[in-house]
Amino acid sequence: MDVLVIVVLVIVVALVFDFTNGFHDTANAMATSVATGALKPRTAVLISAVLNVVGAFLSTEVAKTVSQGIIREGQDGVHISPTMIFAGLVGAVLWNLATWYLGLPSSSTHALFGGLIGASIIGAGLNSVDWATVVSKVVLPALVSPVIAGVIALVATYLAYTLTKNATTHGAATGFRHGQTVSASLVSLAHGTNDAQKTMGVITLTLIAANYQDGGTGPALWVILACGLAIGLGTYMGGWRIMQTVGKKISDVQSPQGFAAETSSAATILISSHLGFALSTTHVTSGSVIGSGLGKKLADVHWSVVGRIVVAWVITLPAAAVVGGLATWLASTSVIGLVLVAVLALAGGLTFTVLAKRKPISHDDVAAGSTEPTDQAEPQPAGAQN
């Protein structure tokens, strides 16, 4: 099949992945704000969508990590073909849809990297992957970032409740909810800065592999714009299933917790984006919500839900790698194999969509029960009582 046709197909599937990334990760920015009533659901996703697009233009360091770091370059170019990249994206998209249906905040980042790594191993061998970069800029951030964000959120939550425990002025809780508007917006901006760049990097890698762009160069302006719009549109669609899990099932989030969780998430993601770390915003946000629950009181974290999420974190990269590898094996056999992979991917995506419609979760489900106690009745952290 003509290389140009495959490149166009890859770009289309990459933007589809970016779209799924948007509605999969809406919860990262807005779940706690919606859960506490700080923002109405539709207002929240609109703000998040706009700031995702803006964030996509702030930096390209993560995009360069994807396009120049994960897959090795040799004397004859990168060790991966557009067909392999297409197959890797199939693995990422299907995993995103599966975890979205289950309401699990798994990592779109690891789904993407897992798909690409699996495709590259099957199509070009183990040496085609730069394992040092994978460990230093993907695996280590995945392990460290949720812990850092969680600790910051724990301390911030504890201080928030401690400093305001004797406050009698009406409006203290309302003040935190207003603060959430700013902190949630910062998370959305950070999410666009980090996650939109990953798809930019994939498209750029494809153009380099097909010799349509010089090696070592960053994403073109049209790539940045397309990826920003795709993730913004996906965000506006609202990932209510995952938002319900993050906002309500990990911890009974209230406005001081939400403000602390969002602020720590935004700081962690923005710093990592500047350094070129392709971390998972899902890991960071979930870690922050867990930390905010611990900062309020230990019993407020629902550990059974946390356990399911951690299992999804662990298996995301290898599961996407297996699907990406199998898709590469089939797509590389012939044109018929490539078409078959596309058909199977479409069928898989439609299956998850149909299953989700049978058990729908809307913005009303996420916003239900978002009222908080009055300011005078604000709960205190464990050990803060006199």
Q: Tell me what the mean pLDDT of segment 56-75 comes to.
A: 70
Residue 201 predicted with pLDDT over 60 = yes
Q: Which helix (H) or strand (E) holds 198?
A: helix 172-209
Q: What is the pLDDT confidence band of residue 371, given thresholds at 50, 70 and 90? A: very low
Higher pLDDT, 318 or 376: 318
Per-residue pLDDT, 38: 77
Rounded Cα gap, residues 248 and 340, in angstroms: 40
The pLDDT, as a whole number, for residue 322 is 92
Weakest-pLDDT range from 129-133, 254-258, 309-313: 254-258
Say if residue 347's pLDDT is above 90: yes
Q: How many angstroms separate the first and last alpha carbons of the chain?
A: 74
- Section 181-198 average pLDDT: 81
Q: What is the mean pLDDT of residues 356-361?
A: 81
Q: What is the pLDDT of residue 368?
A: 62
Instruction: Give percent above pLDDT 70 in the chain.
Output: 84
Cα–Cα distance, 327 to 70 (Å, whole number)? 19
Note whether 105 and 146 are within 8 A (CB).
Answer: no
Q: Is the pLDDT of residue 226 over 80?
A: yes
pTM of the model: 0.77
Instruction: Measure the CA–CA gap between 291 and 369, rounded to whole angstroms.
Output: 22
pLDDT tens digits for range 33-59: 777 777 888 888 888 888 888 888 877
Per-residue pLDDT at 168: 45
Q: Is the pLDDT of residue 374 over 50?
A: no
- pLDDT tens digit sequence for 95-148: 888 888 888 777 878 888 888 889 888 988 888 888 888 888 788 888 888 888
Contacts of 36 (CB under 8 A, 6+ apart): 177, 180, 253, 254, 255, 257, 258, 370, 372
Give the DSSP per-residue string, 43-73: HHHHHHHHHHHHHTTT--HHHHHIIIIIB-E
pLDDT (0 to 100) of residue 166: 53
Categorize the per-residue pLDDT at 380 as very low, low, confident or very high, splitting at 50, 70 and 90: very low
Lowest mean pLDDT among 128-142, 157-171, 289-303: 157-171
CA-wise closest residue to 206 among 191, 219, 222, 225: 219
Handedness of CA 307, 140, 242, 158 (dihedral sign): positive
